[in-house]
Chain A
Amino acid sequence: MERQEQLQGIGCSRKRKEDPRFIQGKGLYVDDVKLPGMLCGEVVRSPFAHAKIVSINKEKALALPGVHAVITAEDLKPLGLHWMPTLAGDTQAVLADEKVCFQMQEVAMVIADDRYIAADAAELVEVEYEQLPALVDPHKAMDADAPIIREDLVGKDEAGQGKRTHNNHIFTWDVGDKDATDRAFESAEVTVREDILNPRVHPSPMETCGCVASFDKVNGSLTVHITSQAPHIVRTVVTLLSGIPESKVRIISPDIGGGFGNKVGIYPGYVCAIVSSIVLGRPVKWIESRIENISTTAFARDYHGVGELAADKDGRITALRFHALADHGAFNAHAQPTKWPAGLFSICTGSYDIPVAYARVDGVYTNKAPGGVAYRCSFRVTEAVYLIERMIDVLAQKLDIDKAEIRRRNFIQADQFPYQSALGWEYDSGNYAPALEKVLEACDYEGLRKEQTEKRANGELMGIGLCTFTEIVGAGPSKACDVLGVGMFDSCEIRVHPTGSAIARMGTITQGQGHETTYAQIIATELGLSSDDIQIEEGDTDTAPYGLGTYGSRSTPVGGAATAMAARTIRAKAQKIAAHLLEVSPEDIEWDVDRFHVKGNPDAVKTMKEVAWAAYNNVPEGMEMGLESVNYYDPPNFTYPFGIYLCVVDIDRHTGETSIRRFYALDDCGNRINPMIIEGQIHGGLNEAFAVAMGQLISFDEEGNLQGNTLMDYFIPTFVETPHWETDYTVTPSPHHPLGAKGVAESPHVGGIPCFSNAVVDAFAHKGVTHVDMPHTAFNVWKTIHELGLDS
């Protein structure tokens, strides 16, 4: 036991190994990189959402002392780099090619000695525009007279995601048995239908996006420090675009100041900085401002949904039919496994045993920034979970069944796992019903409902929100998931040094999740070495094995599995060495925390440290020296974490202000590697859910002008608004993961958003309100109050 504790391995809340540098200001983020002779890039952006470019005059900018270049699409054309591929099979203008399609679109990049001169010069670039009518409302995108946004696609009947039927149509994707679903709706005892919006929002990590590109003309090699959640894919894309072999492209994701999906894609600023460095032969830094970040790089959501459920009179759901109109902006830069135009939206049957279902998503272009990314969620899982978790409440209200009770009646039962969902997924494990009861008891649900009844009688507004969600994370089996043709495996390489410390490198990249700590804990337990002595490195494509990166909660499900498997290969070799040292056969050896001993003879012992030393000087005949392994793990399935959340709100019926009285989150992510880190991830995800549900919105006027793109306007909760979080857990291991673990960090965002909305709507349920769109700002809530006459 004592030896186990000394390892600080799986299951312990050890302190984070990455913290000492961060608390002393010694982190290395991209903007901290300063190379000799480095220049700065500044992007010239469009003031209009839709306009022809009549002319660009660079003369005044170029005349400014300290300016080295002004690049436009015309300069990139000879290199074939004025357009670039997106992860979704579309192409995106690197710099606007004859027209601009969204406000703040990249038109030119100025390269200058420093950021001040670059900013001055950007002001001096003269661009003449001829404004075109803008298309802002996705519901009007496919109208006969809708403005054509993408002239480059006119006459093309597909944009990388199957057949399209209109100039502004990107794709139609559907799944499920439509006919059987329609029949189930026709014969249903009860049906409900609701229009449900997931508005356009932005992940806004504290660090914006940027890069430092450095091309060495002598060696023909390119090094890029970049804010990327997927450095290896960036390297492949850079090679495909530039023709520089991958062996001469080095992508480094150093410390990343939060990602939340914002740093998955490849952005025009990166491409321009790289091209500028190649042309000028000097390092070029491009760091976006917060305004540029909110305006251009990677919005999320903008899913205009219609949810329908069919049920019997007891509230048992008999069919589900969901549709979403997806606004992808001017270019389809959706972050997704390439074959999934609507991501994993088909997880929308949720935690419920629904016999038949049909889901369809139509993607359209509008004059807005391109996207969308998975903002702290697995691809489109937030949108899917929001729909089902709102709709089950709508059904409960229609049938006057309690919102906890209707969930009990529809849950997939523990003995149904592995569970085949109507839309094609195999849920690995779950145990929903007892977890729900645990939360209801912890929060005295009955007491809360009683209190609510009393409050309602006094005209007070109190809401109780429940959310009982299932996620799908850990993309994914390579037969189902790839990015630009690269399967979505992940990797780990471990090298044990002679004196028993180790270094391990992964294809994932931490952005605050604590990989340097948790991966070390996995190896500590698997190899019996102290996690203090295990160094974890990620993000440098020259040293780390190829991997697909960190997003969609895939690090523990895929990278963590690779880590365990690589460690197990090492332990198997170590067992042979131990047997050799102890002069017995390997089958006669047993593993015991940090050492091998001979079965039946606990005194005949070789510790892992002793074995590590022997691996470099005394191995069995015919065995290679050394103690290292690399594993590329292709998961057999996704993992399906779940959670049961409860939120209590009190609403001021005069101001519309919503106060979060209580938020209780029970999460089940299977076996837990570091409970302290898990709790921290849950807190953060809940806060991002709070942000989305209660205030975040990227909105536009009719001309496509973005209404608010600074932190003055865009809501990031401060200490003051943020509620207190209560956390809890159950453990239902994943049967297919080597450690029984599942992803966790996105669950609180995915499950939190509908929980807040359900609480707010519940406050008005007795007045017949079944749905109100997010965000639930005081003004929006007040409008509901006022319409119902509750403020008089």
Chain B
Amino acid sequence: MAKTQVSFNLNGQDVDVLVEPRELLIHVLREQLQLTGSHIGCETSHCGACTVDVNGQSIKSCTMLAIQAQGATVMTVEGLAAGGELHPLQQAFMDEHGLQCGFCTPGMLVRGYRFLQENPNPSEEEIRSGMAGNLCRCTGYQNIIKSIQTAAAALNADTGSQAE
């Protein structure tokens, strides 16, 4: 099948890939670009293990074609830590035992990252509804909620200190 060149920004770097028009973004990220952090859990957009951030929105990359990423800014879990420092969300997941088998974790983190920008001070109810597109079978969600609350507090403290 004829291939098309697609260019986008991935975790801060410009990338060009040759893809078939039918190829899914998740497959291109995992197999061509070797970023295997994002996972495939259901192929039907229900589980969220494949969640990546595209142009400031949480996207389930198992149901987006790679060619739709032309010109886009894409971030995966591999792009969360900056300059060797864990993102406060990553730190909070570790501190609050927000993960077990780790399979859903990259999607949770990427969704959590966007969610906290949409709502920097969420209540538990808001976290439950804002994160509902990501499934986890291990944690019963409670410690993920705690992780997001902890990260929110850390991010807000950071913002506060920067403002001063």
Contact = CB atoms under 8 A, between A and B. Distances in A.
B94 A710 contact: no
Interface string B138-162: 1111111100000000000000000
Contacts of B81: 24
B86 interface: yes
Q: Is the interface on chain B under 10, 10 to 19, 20 to 34, or 35 or more residues?
A: 35 or more
A25 B41 contact: no
B42 interface: yes
B31 interface: yes
Contacts of A21: 102
A710 B36 contact: no
Contacts of B37: 24-27
Contact of A25 (B42, B43, B106): B106
B102 A255 contact: yes
Nearest to A15: B94
B38 interface: yes
A242 to B, nearest CB: 29
B78 interface: yes
Given A20-B94, A260-B137, A719-B128, A207 B44 contact: no
A683 B139 contact: yes
Contact of B40 (A19, A31, A514, A722): A31
Interface in B73-94: 76-78, 80-81, 86, 90, 93-94
Interface stretch (A134-142, A326-334, A684-692): A684-692
B102 A684 contact: no
B44 A25 contact: no
A47 interface: no
B132 A720 contact: yes
B78 A256 contact: no
A204 B78 CA distance: 26
B142 A683 contact: yes
B47 interface: yes
B111 to A, nearest CB: 11
Interface string B117-129: 0000000000111
B44 A24 contact: no
B23 A512 contact: no
Contacts of A216: none
A27 B95 CA distance: 18
B21 to A, nearest CB: 11
A205 interface: yes
B101 to A, nearest CB: 3
A25 B78 CA distance: 6
A677 interface: yes
A257 interface: yes
Interface in B6-29: 20, 22-23, 27
A720 B129 contact: yes
Interface residues of A, number: 59
B64 interface: no
Contacts of B102: 18-19, 21-23, 27, 255, 257, 512
Contact of B97 (A208, A260, A680, A718): A680
B122 to A, nearest CB: 12
Interface string A258-301: 10100000000000000000000000000101110000000000
Contact of A24 (B22, B31, B46, B77): B77
Given A18-B102, A32-B36, A206-B137, A680 B127 contact: no
Interface string B97-108: 101111111100
Nearest to A117: B1
Given A711-B42, A711-B46, A719-B141, A207 B77 contact: no
Interface in A708-741: 710-712, 716, 718-720, 722, 724-725
B156 to A, nearest CB: 20
Contacts of B39: 29, 31, 206-207, 257
Contacts of A256: 101
B49 interface: yes
Given A25-B77, A207-B39, A258-B137, A512 B101 contact: yes
A616 interface: no
Contacts of B139: 680, 683-684, 687
A115 interface: yes
A719 B136 CA distance: 9
A718 B140 contact: no
Contacts of A19: 93-94, 99, 102
A424 to B, nearest CB: 34
B101 A207 contact: yes
B66 interface: no
A210 B51 CA distance: 21
B109 interface: yes
B95 A206 contact: no
B132 A718 contact: yes
Contacts of A683: 139-143
Interface in A666-693: 676-677, 679-688
B69 interface: no
B104 A206 contact: yes
Interface in A24-42: 24-29, 31-32, 34
19 contacts: A16-B94, A19-B93, A19-B99, A23-B90, A25-B36, A31-B40, A116-B20, A116-B22, A205-B103, A206-B49, A257-B103, A683-B140, A683-B143, A684-B137, A685-B140, A687-B139, A719-B131, A719-B144, A720-B132
Given A116-B20, A116-B22, 5 more contacts: A23-B109, A29-B103, A206-B47, A256-B101, A683-B139
The 5 closest A-B pairs by CB, nearest first: A25-B37, A512-B101, A257-B103, A22-B102, A683-B140
